[in-house]
Homo-oligomer: A and B are copies of this chain.
Amino acid sequence: MGSTYGKIFKIATFGESHGAGIGVVIEGCPAGVTFDQDFIQSELTRRKPGQSRITTQRKEADEFEVLSGVFEGKTTGTPIAILIRNQDQRSKDYSHIATQYRPSHADYTYQEKYGIRDYRGGGRSSARETAARVAAGALAKTLLQEAGVNIQAYVSQVGTLKLEKSYSELDLSLTETNDVRCPDPVVAQQMFNYIDGIRKQGDSVGGVVNCVITGAPVGWGEPVFDKLHAELGKAMLSINAVKGFEYGSGFEGVTLLGSQHNDAFYTDENGKVNTRTNHSGGIQGGISNGQDIYFRIAFKPVATIMQDQESVDQEGNIAIVQGKGRHDPCVVPRAVPIVEAMAAIVLADFYLRNKLSKL
């Protein structure tokens, strides 16, 4: 249980890091949506390993096959199954962890929970699973385009290096122009050098991804439990290595007074209701209010490092886990398309759910 996401636009992912492949079944996508194979591939390429010196060197083409649900370039309303085969597994790199637990990985918890685990490459707990999310997210993005919704994520912090500007001060179209995916080229270069240094030490470091959604209409999100930001939070926290989520004014907002924090309404020249500030992050009462939606996500340093670490084995004996396998020294550059994909999946779901709010 736990491999399904969404209530209407519903995705179910499957697959392990070193099994036959990974994939996703998307149910609930309406009929008639353009299925843009090139766009899906381009999104997968943004996430794929081996894209630069500061990402894992595993080589995966991450080409996908559509197994169902698409006919003559359009979705048909039936389940869309997408398969991405694994190619560059090096399972022997992982034989040492068949019985050892890597610190801060999921080896120990999976073993205890299930009594069995596919230890090769981390099995189901590997971030390789997120490729399936990106494929589904690409379709969600296509669906959202019709509603004029745009999603853009970018790296705003790596270790202690922070981008000290808000999204409105940045040119987000520059995000894809560098390997770090930071829209400020100068800071991006600093971040690149920093990560590359960490890589050479055989260590890893954390970071922060910001995400901005523009063009969402009023009304997306559902009262009480399925608030828009609650689902966005769950979706982001479900991404490997995420430790925190905040939207709008976030943790900083707690120091403000209500009279400072409240977003006054006004009507603009086009008769559209807007707010003068946006501490709400585009969401009020869990429902989008037509302003920009923005949030931040904290990623911990990747647990795989090229250093020996103290641990135990399945019998509880002391074990020294060796630093092996390929890994990302910092996960945030590749996390950008994953964050966007999950945001798209959440929004597509609420877009469809909102069609049922009134007759």
Are A117 and B76 within 8 A (Cβ)? yes
Are A359 and B30 within 8 A (Cβ)? yes
Are A114 and B357 within 8 A (Cβ)? yes
A79: chain B residues within 8 A (beta carbon): 3, 12-15
Are A253 and B249 within 8 A (Cβ)? no
How many residues of A are counted as interface, with CB atoms below 8 angstroms from the partner's CB atoms?
A: 149
Are A267 and B222 within 8 A (Cβ)? no
Do A5 and B225 form a contact, CB below 8 Å, given A16-B68, A118-B71, A285-B105? yes
A7 within 8 A of B: yes
Are A123 and B78 within 8 A (Cβ)? yes
Mark A192-230 against chain B: 1 for CB-CB distance below 8 A, else 0.
Answer: 000000100001111110000000001101111111011
Interface centre among A106, A208, A244, A307 (most CB of B within 10 A): A244
Residue from the list B5, B25, B231, B358 in contact with A31, Cβ < 8 A? B358
Interface centre among A114, A160, A263, A287 (most CB of B within 10 A): A114
Are A12 and B27 within 8 A (Cβ)? yes
A109: chain B residues within 8 A (beta carbon): 218-219, 221, 284-289
A302: chain B residues within 8 A (beta carbon): 258
A104 within 8 A of B: yes
Are B254 and A124 within 8 A (Cβ)? no
Are A30 and B356 within 8 A (Cβ)? yes
Residue from the list B124, B301, B352 in contact with A261, Cβ < 8 A? B301
Are A3 and B225 within 8 A (Cβ)? yes
A355: chain B residues within 8 A (beta carbon): 355-356
Are B300 and A254 within 8 A (Cβ)? yes
Are A67 and B19 within 8 A (Cβ)? yes
A298 within 8 A of B: yes
Are B1 and A28 within 8 A (Cβ)? yes
Are B243 and A243 within 8 A (Cβ)? no
Shortest CB distance A331–B (Å) = 10
Q: A103-B275, A157-B254, A225-B238 are in contact. List 4 more A-B contacts (CB 8 A).
A: A78-B223, A233-B234, A267-B316, A276-B310
Task: Pick 11 A–B contacts, CB within 8 A, sort by A.
Answer: A12-B27, A72-B116, A106-B284, A108-B289, A124-B224, A233-B237, A251-B251, A251-B298, A259-B305, A261-B300, A267-B312
